Amino acid sequence: MSFVSIIAEIISILGTIPEIKEVHNFDKGKFTGYPAAVVYPSENSSDFETTTQNLRQYVFTIRVHVPLEKVGTLDHQTADRILRETLDAIIAKFDNLFTLNGVVNFVNATPSVWGYQTRETGGLRVSEVRLACNKLATI
C-alpha cells in the first residue's frame, strides 16, 4: 500500500460518480467538463498500534471545481447547488466503499473548505473533501 495505489483507487472510484465530469491526480489550468475533481496527497502519519502493527494514515484532498457565470452559464445559486449535490455524492460513495475496495482498512470522508478560486478561465466555486485513509501495516 502506498500513495500510488491509494490515489489510483480514489481516482477510479471518483470516475464512477455520474455528477463528476472530469477527474485528475494533478492540478490543471483548464478543465473541459464540470464539476471537475482534482485529487492530491496532503499529509500522512504513522502511529504505534501493537507490537507488530502500525496504523498508517494517508490523507488526500479532493478539490471539486464548478464554474461561475464568467466561465459558463451558471449563476452562483446554481453553482452552489451543483457543488452540494456533487459533494453529497462523493461522501456517500466513500461511506459505502469505506475500504477503497480492500486497498485500506477504513476511510473517513469529511467536507472541509468551501471557497472561490480565480483561474485563467474565470471564477470557480470550489470545495474540498478530506479523505483520511487508514491502513494497519505489519512491522
pLDDT in tens, 47-100: 887 888 899 999 999 999 998 865 555 688 888 999 999 999 999 999 999 999
Residue 107: Cβ-neighbour burial (10 angstroms; 0-12, 13-18, 19+): buried
Domain 3-138 has CATH 3.40.50.720: no
For 45-111, give the DSSP string: EEEE-SSSEEEEEEEEEEEEEEE-TTTSS--HHHHHHHHHHHHHHHHHHHHHTTTTTTTSSEEEEEE
Strands 22-24 and 36-48: parallel
Q: Give the model confidence (pLDDT) of 103-128 as tens digits.
A: 999 999 987 789 998 887 788 999 99
Cβ atoms < 10 Å from Cβ of 138? 7
More confident residue, 45 or 70: 45
Q: Which of 62, 138, 133, 50 is nearest to 98 (CA)?
A: 133
Q: What is the mean pLDDT of residues 1-5?
A: 83
**pLDDT value at position 101?**
95
**pLDDT value at position 1?**
56
**pLDDT value at position 48?**
84
Q: What does the alpha-carbon distance between residue 67 and residue 108 come to, in Å, rounded to a whole number? A: 27
